[in-house]
């Protein structure tokens, strides 16, 4: 590791709102997941659900750039901003967060160049492949369950209306709520339009209220 030519101490900006309990715990096998009561988003940890509520529904920018006035809802967006805008990256040294000059990294698989190791780390999982246990054919993780169902008859969660399949039961349930039940959980603050989740609402806001 290179010596730190530039080190800037960063205070933790995370200040949660008082009400952080607007979610429902969902049992998935032996694991617990957390479903947002406002938009149906399902997350695997309580911390990620709290961050979702803070950023998505309270619109609080919890992540501040240490080098300019920019603020972000998500840590990943801040990381990309630091690398692309300032050529820096944030790391932990001991118990403190510091920034240093970003070291450009190249993916060994596709040779794509990234502005920092953090960006490369987020990219690497897109290349992970898994062998089908029945026939050893190689697939990406999101494809293997569908292959096993169609080629080998392995039972996976399936929508009883249209036959949509997914290895995750919660995704099938979300599909049914969104596509067949046509739930509308969020309202546009500027018009009467309603949407299933925060992602649909954001797209509507970007398309309809650019100015």
The answer to whether residue 174 is domain-embedded is: yes
Question: Tell me, what CATH number does 142's domain have?
Answer: 3.30.160
Cα 8 from Cα 44, distance rounded (Å):
32
Query: What was the pLDDT predicted at 210?
Result: 56
- Count of beta carbons in the 10 Å neighbourhood of residue 38: 16
Query: What was the pLDDT predicted at 192?
Result: 87
Query: What was the pLDDT predicted at 126?
Result: 79
150-174 mean pLDDT: 88
Res. 141: pLDDT tops 70: yes
Its domain, for residue 172, covers 128-180
Query: What was the pLDDT predicted at 188?
Result: 84
User: What's the chain's length in residues?
Assistant: 211
Give one DSSP letter per residue of 79-135, joined into a string: HHHIIIIISEEEEEETTEEEEEE---EE-TTT--EESSHHHHHHHGGGG-EEE-TTT
The answer to whether residue 2 is domain-embedded is: no
64-80 mean pLDDT: 83
pLDDT, the chain, mean: 78
The answer to whether residue 79 is domain-embedded is: no
Q: What is the pLDDT of residues 22-55, one digit of tens each?
A: 788 888 777 888 888 877 788 888 888 887 877 7
Name the residue with higher pLDDT: 4 or 89: 89
The answer to whether residue 103 is domain-embedded is: no
The answer to whether residue 164 is domain-embedded is: yes
> What is the number of structural domains in the chain?
1
Res. 134: pLDDT tops 60: yes
Report how far Cα 166 is from the mean position of its chain's Cα atoms: 18
The answer to whether residue 143 is domain-embedded is: yes
98-104 mean pLDDT: 79
The answer to whether residue 115 is domain-embedded is: no
Query: What was the pLDDT predicted at 209?
Result: 64
The answer to whether residue 4 is domain-embedded is: no
Q: Taking a C-beta distance cutoff of 8 angstroms, is the pair 163, 151 a contact?
A: no
136-157 mean pLDDT: 85
Cα 111 from Cα 101, distance rounded (Å):
21
Report the Cα–Cα distance between both ends of the chain, in Å, rounded: 46
Band of the pLDDT at 8, cuts 50, 70, 90? very low
Q: Return the sign of the alpha-carbon dihedral for residues 116, 121, 123, 128.
A: positive
Residue with structure tokens 């009883």?
160
- Of all residues in the chain, the percent with pLDDT exceeding 90 is 4
Cα 169 from Cα 25, distance rounded (Å):
14
172-200 mean pLDDT: 87
Name the residue with higher pLDDT: 180 or 56: 180
């Amino acid at each position: 590791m290179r010596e730190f030519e530039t080190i800037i101490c960063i205070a933790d900006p995370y200040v949660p709102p008082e009400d952080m309990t607007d979610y429902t715990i969902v049992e998935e096998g032996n694991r617990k997941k957390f479903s947002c009561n406002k938009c149906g988003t399902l997350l695997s940890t309580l911390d990620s659900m709290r961050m979702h509520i803070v950023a998505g529904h309270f619109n609080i920018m919890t992540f501040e750039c240490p080098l300019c006035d920019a603020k972000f809802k998500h840590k990943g967006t801040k990381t990309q901003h630091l690398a692309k805008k300032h050529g820096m990256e944030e790391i932990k040294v001991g118990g403190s967060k510091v920034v240093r000059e970003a070291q450009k990294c190249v993916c060994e698989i596709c040779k794509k160049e990234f502005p920092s190791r953090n960006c490369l780390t987020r990219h690497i999982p897109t290349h992970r492949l898994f062998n089908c246990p029945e026939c050893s054919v190689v697939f990406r993780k999101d494809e293997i369950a569908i292959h096993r169902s169609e080629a080998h008859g392995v039972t996976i969660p399936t929508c009883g209306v249209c036959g949509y399949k997914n290895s995750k039961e919660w995704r099938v349930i979300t599909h049914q709520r969104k596509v067949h039940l046509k739930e509308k959980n969020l309202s546009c603050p500027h018009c009467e339009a309603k949407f299933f989740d925060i992602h649909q609402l954001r797209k509507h806001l970007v398309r309809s209220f650019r100015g």
